[in-house]
Amino acid sequence: MISQSQSCALIATIIFVLATQIIIGVNSFPESDKIRTLPQQPKVEFQQYAGYITVDEVQKRALFYYFVEAEVEPASKPVVLWLNGGPGCSSVGAGAFVEHGPFKPTENGLIKNDYSWNKVANMLYLESPAGVGFSYSANKSFYDSVNDEITARDNLVFLQHWFSKFQEYKNNDFFITGESYAGHYVPQLAQIIVQTKSKFNLKGIAIGNPLLEFNTDFNSRAEFLWSHGLISDSTYETFTKVCNYSQIRREYQNGRATIVCSRVNRLVSMEISRYIDSYDVTLDVCLPSEKQQAYILTQLQEGEKIDVCEEDETITYLNRKDVQLALHAKLVGIPLWSTCSGILKYDMQNLEIPTISILGKLVKSGVRVLVYSGDQDSVIPLLGTRSLVNGLAKDFGLNTTNSYRAWFNERQVAGWTQIYGGGILSFATIRGASHEAPFSQPGRSLGLLKAFLEGKPLPTIL
């Protein structure tokens, strides 16, 4: 039994705690998902979380995420979801640990990434769909028939549950970003959010070197290769008039390659040579594993498979048991973690679903859209992407607000940009960047993201 004075003191304490909670808020983030520290990680002040969100209770399908709070004032910063492409490649392994996460693996452990995107945002990396990275389905038959519709639906369910876990971020500005085949993932997810009127504060999407329209994107490859001196005049003409790349892609995808298109493909490959990286024609041939996300867009059924560097620090690091323990990750039905899934059978006919029209619908609904291109990529070249965005602006009556011009970062030309409709739609190139722009041009990519999140035009004067 407590005395009256003790009772008064207890009530006063309760009132003080409640008042404090109202004033400063309570961090209700799941402690079980909090990362104490990653093995061989440099000391940092920001918080990290990782774990699973179940998106199908019946099939026991769960998606793995890695969340990194912003370095400074995370409560006021936007939440940015990042999705890598493939289809079937890891946003954690490629996006977080190779491109723009807070750390990069080396032989001696993790080092700080000076151009990490969590300098300007709270970064959420999602391994999607199930079967990619640490994400899994207990029902393995799921892997046999995955498509864009399933991926978008599961990603929406993931976000609904994730924001329930991290309610403090529910009202923050929310952006969806990604690259390569995320030219499907990102707009399709944004569209379903708009259609279902989900309670996310979706402000915009940004997609890099995205697959938007099968014929336009793939057929721009011939002009890009020719203009960069990788193929001859005569081969360019053959590659354009006899059998173009979209036709070659389609034939190999359907397992019915004609003799004519096979000959054209061999001729192009011979002239380019085995020692050029198609994802960055200026880069030497020793490739990090995140390049694999684009391989599916160019893999054909003849010739040798492109080899990546034998020593891949990201794969080595994420396969360490102590790292998996720190990340609260597990391997389900697979012996090793890999950058791109070896068990997922994605419906490759989905590559031919155009998503450029979805961008128009998003713009019409008030969602800002940024499309950017690393200008050294021959897989999804800027030529096709730029023409698609320009055509989209014309179709939707979006006048040019800022004409095509150079933009600057760190006192150098960082690329070229054009703005339509007062900033609701914009296109930018990143000078000297590959298919995975943040990997090859991290400073310029961070500058591009910062301007986009702030709703500001890229600096067009030195």
Q: Do the beta carbons of residue 166 and residue 29 sit within 8 Å?
A: yes
Q: Considering 116, 137, 180, 220, which one is annotated as catalytic?
A: 180
Residue 273 appears among annotated catalytic residues: no
The first and second tokens of residue 157, run together, are 């369910």
Does the annotation count 377 as an active-site position?
yes
d(CA 31, CA 165): 10
CA distance 229 to 209: 21
As a whole number of angstroms, the distance between CA 263 and CA 258 comes to 9
* DSSP 3-state of 160: helix
Tokens at 41, concatenated: 């990680």
CA 161 – CA 122 distance, rounded (Å):
17
- What is the sign, positive or negative, of the torsion defined by CA atoms of 398, 400, 402, 404? positive
- Contact yes or no for 392/376 (Cβ under 8 A): no
Residues 360, 397: Cα–Cα separation, whole Å: 10
Q: Which amino acid makes up residue 79?
A: V
What are φ and ψ of residue 426, in 5° steps?
Answer: -145, 155
Active-site residue, from 154, 277, 312, 377: 377
CA distances from 36 to 16, 39, 47, 163, 326 (A): 29, 10, 8, 21, 7
Is 56 a known active-site residue?
no
Which residue, 169, 175, 208, 213, is CA-closest to 193? 175
Nearest alpha carbon to residue 145 among 79, 59, 75, 42: 59
Q: Is 301 exposed, middle or buried (0-12, 13-18, 19+ CB in 10 A)?
A: exposed
- Buried/exposed 154-176: b ≥16 CB within 10 Å, e otherwise: bbbbbbbebbebbeebeebbbbb
The candidate with the shortest Cα–Cα distance to 112, out of 44, 167, 160, is: 44
Catalytic site residue from 137, 435, 440, 445? 435
Do β-strands 368-374 and 202-208 pair in parallel, antiparallel, or remain unpaired?
parallel
Nearest to 246 by CA among 152, 358, 351: 351
Q: Are strands 79-83 and 122-127 parallel, antiparallel or unpaired?
A: parallel
CA distance 152 to 20: 40
Q: What residues act catalytically? A: 180, 377, 435
